[in-house]
Amino acid sequence: MPTIFSRIISGEFPGRFVWRDDRCVAFLTINPIKPGHTLVVPREEVDHWLDLEPTLAADLMTVSQLIGRAIGRGFGSARVGLIIAGLEVPHTHLHLVPMNEIADLDFARAEQNPDPAALDDAAETIRVALREMGYGERVGA
């Protein structure tokens, strides 16, 4: 049975995509710790990040750096945190979170019922930053 992420990637479930390429996608989480909290996910279902084929792992990190730069640019945070937790969905995913302090990475602070308009605005902020950085052709709509 496909994971929820595979179902989002296929379009079966909605997602606020900010990046799409042949090997991975990036979309906003539905339970953000901070506005702009984005997941970078391989198209291929690989449960544990340690099991990623090395070039796919490198691709995920490259895309995470690009998206992280866009998040930093768009949200003006001091840093962009990266977390690979992997307990909640059996499909590798990298959490990118704008942060100004370590508490900004606390999953206990995640919004359970975020405003859909705020999620849309956050996605558009990242898309605009990516376009400004010259990545318009890969920006997901």
Give the count of beta carbons closer than 10 Å to the beta carbon of residue 83.
14
Give the count of beta carbons closer than 10 Å to the beta carbon of residue 99.
21
d(CA 107, CA 87): 12
Res 140 pLDDT > 90: no
pLDDT of residue 86: 86
pLDDT tens sequence across 45-67? 999 999 999 999 999 999 999 99
d(CA 41, CA 31): 16
For the residues 103-130, what does the mean pLDDT come to? 96
Q: Which residues contact 111 (CB under 8 A, 6 or more apart)?
A: 31, 32, 33
pLDDT of residue 1: 83
Res 16 pLDDT > 60: yes
Q: What domains are there in the chain, each with its CATH number?
A: 4-138 (3.30.428.10)
